[in-house]
Chains A and B, each alone.
Chain A
Amino acid sequence: MKRLVAIVEDEPAIRDNYAAGFMREGYAVRTYANRAQAMSAFAARLPDLAVIDISLEDEPEGGFELCRQLRALSAELPIIFLTARDSELDAVSGLRLGADDFLTKDLSLPHLIARVNALFRRVDALRKPNTPGELVRRGALTLDAERMQAQWDGQVVLLSLTEFWIVHALARHPGHVRNRQQLMDAANVVLDDNTITSHVKRIRRKFQSIDPKFDAVQTVYGMGYRWVE
């Protein structure tokens, strides 16, 4: 059975292009132009994954509201924000509302599909308990590449997909400096330096909320970041 991807996007051309791309990958796609349409459809049947634009027709922040409502319906449903907005504030708000990823529309369609695939892999991995995946252990850190899940001292750190990939890229080769371009490549995103910096900041903060003494992600000024054990 095909997985159902819901696309909520008020720009018909983009909507249809994305829909075409996903369908080519073998997904079933439903598209909605606004929040009301989407919610009424979701009430009837939840999709397997939702790609949501933030501004929807006459609601500039309708995507956030939709995300909140959708998260209320399902805690596990992967949600991706895909937006023309690229402000830090929007990203933080979106991720705080429980979105799994926050992407700007700079992202190419293949990249987007790659992320969707990755999210589905994670969902699948989480549904198959007790199956040890490919684990990376670095001191207190345990990375499960299958589930795309990070643990610190046994506690799960809730990372977005981009953040997970950044941590993964750093922790796989401790001590090696990863520059920003390498991190972007690893995360399948095209971002500017400041966005990478704020991602790293968020990652540190998330780990520090578990272990205040967390200091494993080091800045190498002018070059990038490295993982130290």
Chain B
Amino acid sequence: MSLRLKLLLLGLATLVLPWGGCQYAREMESALREGEQNSLQAVSQTIAASLQGRTDLLYRESLPPADTPEPLTRGTSGHAFLQSGPYDLRPLALTAAPLLDGYSDDWPHDPSAWAYFARDDRHRFAILTGVYERMLYVLLEVRDEHPLFDAPGTNTLDPATFGDRVWLGFEDSQGEERAVFLAATGPGAVTARRIETGEYGQQSAPLEPRIRGAWQPMSHGYRIELRVPLSMLGNGFGVLVDDRDARGAAPVSYGTLRSDDLHTLGRLIVAAPELTSYLAQFMQPGLKLAVTTPSGRVLARADALGQVTGLGSGTPILARLYRRFVDQPGTRQLLESSAPIYDRDHTGVIGKLEVTQTANRWIRLRDHALMRMLNFSLSTSAVAVTLMFAFAAWLALRLSRLRQASESALTRTGLVTSFPDTDSRDELGDVARGFSTLLQRLNEYTSYLRTLAGKLAHEIRTPLTIVRSSLDNLESEQVPPSARVYLERARQGSERLNAILIAMGAATRVEEAIGSAERVSFDLVPVLESAVAAYRGAFPECSFRTELPAEGVVIRGAPDLIVQMLDKLIDNAVDFSPAGALIIVRLRLDSQAPVIEVDNPGPALPAHVQGRLFESLWQSRAGADSQPHFGLGLYIVRLIAEFHGGEASAANLPDGSGVRFAVRLAR
């Protein structure tokens, strides 16, 4: 793992900042929510308190306490009015007007809202009532195995034509009992008629146009949907079904009206129309108020839940993204609260107020805070990560510079004095300075080692001169012949010693020669040709082949040195070749750089020597002859190659049959 990556990961640790922010936002949200819940509770209690004892407001027809002599005995319904009778109807507070088409699909699906009345198994009906905008809507489903319409086109008052009929009985606003009937000659719209008796006793059935609806057959019966203005209605309301199996037959009557005088048995428990407007004054966007009976039937509601905007399509993408991170699954989006509405004496419950509020308000608050916090902390993180990354990159750059410098310092034999970053005052600078010092010492040591041979040669030369000059003098003295042989051996030994000394000084002299060499432009090809021609004479035991390019290869350099380098390479090649070997001298261009190669058959290079072959005084291979080898030949090759801006290398031939020395020169 690179340093850069590590520091990057470290930088990512600053992301704990936004994470903590999210946690904080969640806590803040729940605190807000709690506060909101409390205030909602307070609101609902306030509104409920304002409704305390307002039975008149809650219920359209509030019965005065005197009319309800029953004692308040039991149950949750404190008010006598709310002692529900079996025939009472509690209309739903509808949210939309149902279409008067005789079908139930635009009514709320609320099985508990239905009221059922049955005379026996075959005679029963279900009734659903609802209030919307001062209209009472009635859905009546009558079970009838033999639905029967009136005979068409006949007098509605002719009993012989009577089919199934439905009576509505109600008290009008003056408390007077009235009744209308519904009769249809076929499916479709139906309008109520009322029976009027003229002054002479004649009866007529004029239309009651305010009560209209639709009559549709259904399986095992028929369905009637009706609309009645609430203004027509007083307290009581009931339905009576006249079921006939044949036209004109005596009907089976059952329902919530007394069948003989159509007296209403049940009441219509409906909120006063003013209740909705009363509730409306508390409305604000995102709030829903509902007043229910103690048993939970909604009397009136004011709904502004959908009015809330602000988190719709206009929400910034960023905020939505944040919300996705913060929102816990299952968080309820709605706040609900309810408070009982007491009667005037605070003894009974006359209703219940339910308040619902969308979460949007506090979510918006939270989002705002969250946005700011996340923006801030994320940008802080981004800056921190960027800075850390940049710092890491800078560090890595410095480190890699150090590494490169140290690598090149160790591979080059030249003086290494400059080392990067030694001026920095931090730890890396210390390291660089340490390296620099180390290299300086190493350099001093290697240069000491390199000059050691020369110094040794110099020091040995004086005693050697003593020996040799003494031997020279001894030649002129009278030496017994038996001692001559020792004298001769001493001379041979000193000659060898002298040869060694010359060889030891050779490297220094080559360095000097290189230092003073002049560069000229010359063509490598004829120089190599001439040199190889000379080798053919000098080494008759080997054969030579040249592989030279057709056109000239002009370089800048010292031809003397090049030839000297080639001498060393050929010496080396001949030394390690078997007799009669073919030595190939090749010059080729490798991407414009001339490369001189000398191939010789012979033993392969051991792997461990390859990097060291060109070092001074390195000798790993036993030569074929017994001449002293000091490993200077290849060192000289390297010096000359470097003088020409190139490098020397050695490798085994691909087929393993020999060795190839290559010297790459700069053009």
User: Using a CB–CB distance below 8 Å, which chain A residues touch chain B?
Assistant: 11, 13-14, 17-18, 20-21, 24, 84-89, 104-106, 108-110, 190, 192-195, 197-198, 219-223
Contact = CB atoms under 8 A, between A and B. Distances in A.
Contacts of B510: 194
A219 B472 contact: no
A190 B533 CA distance: 26
Contact of A108 (B472, B530, B534): B472
Nearest to A17: B469
B462 A14 contact: yes
B97 interface: no
Contact of A222 (B505, B509, B513, B531): B531
Interface stretch (B178-186, B222-230, B325-333, B562-570): B562-570
23 contacts: A11-B465, A17-B473, A84-B461, A84-B465, A104-B461, A105-B461, A106-B498, A108-B472, A109-B472, A192-B505, A194-B512, A195-B509, A197-B560, A197-B564, A220-B530, A220-B534, A221-B530, A221-B560, A221-B563, A222-B530, A222-B532, A222-B538, A223-B534
A87 B465 CA distance: 17
The 4 A-B pairs of least Cβ separation, nearest first, read: A222-B534, A222-B531, A109-B472, A17-B469
A93 to B, nearest CB: 13
Given A106-B498, A109-B472, A192 B506 contact: yes
A86 B534 contact: no
Contact of A106 (B502, B530, B532, B560): B502
B433 interface: no
Given A109-B469, A223-B534, 18 more contacts: A14-B465, A21-B476, A84-B458, A87-B509, A88-B513, A105-B462, A105-B464, A105-B465, A106-B502, A108-B472, A110-B472, A190-B498, A193-B564, A219-B560, A220-B534, A222-B530, A222-B563, A223-B537
A107 to B, nearest CB: 9
B465 A222 contact: no
Given A21-B469, A220-B530, A221-B534, A89 B512 contact: yes
B317 interface: no
A56 to B, nearest CB: 13
B462 A109 contact: no
Interface magnitude class on chain B: 35 or more
A221 B473 contact: no
Contacts of B28: none
A21 B473 contact: yes
> Which of B462, B531, B563 gathers most chain A CB within 10 Å?
B462
A24 B476 CA distance: 9
Nearest to B558: A197
A84 B462 CA distance: 6
B466 A13 contact: yes
B469 A14 contact: yes
Nearest to B518: A201
Contacts of B501: 106
Contacts of A222: 530-535, 538, 563, 566-567
Nearest to A25: B476
Contacts of A21: 469, 472-473, 476
A220 B535 CA distance: 12
Given A84-B461, A89-B512, A192 B502 contact: yes
Contacts of A84: 458, 461-462, 465
B470 interface: yes
Interface string B301-331: 0000000000000000000000000000000
B508 interface: yes
Contacts of A195: 509
A55 to B, nearest CB: 10
A193 B510 CA distance: 10
Nearest to A106: B498
Contact of B513 (A11, A109, A110, A198): A198
Given A14-B465, A88-B513, A194-B510, A109 B473 contact: yes
B592 interface: no
B509 A86 contact: yes
A219 B461 contact: no
B538 to A, nearest CB: 8
Contacts of B458: 84-85
Contacts of B498: 106, 190
Contacts of B468: 108-109
Nearest to B464: A105
A192 B509 contact: yes
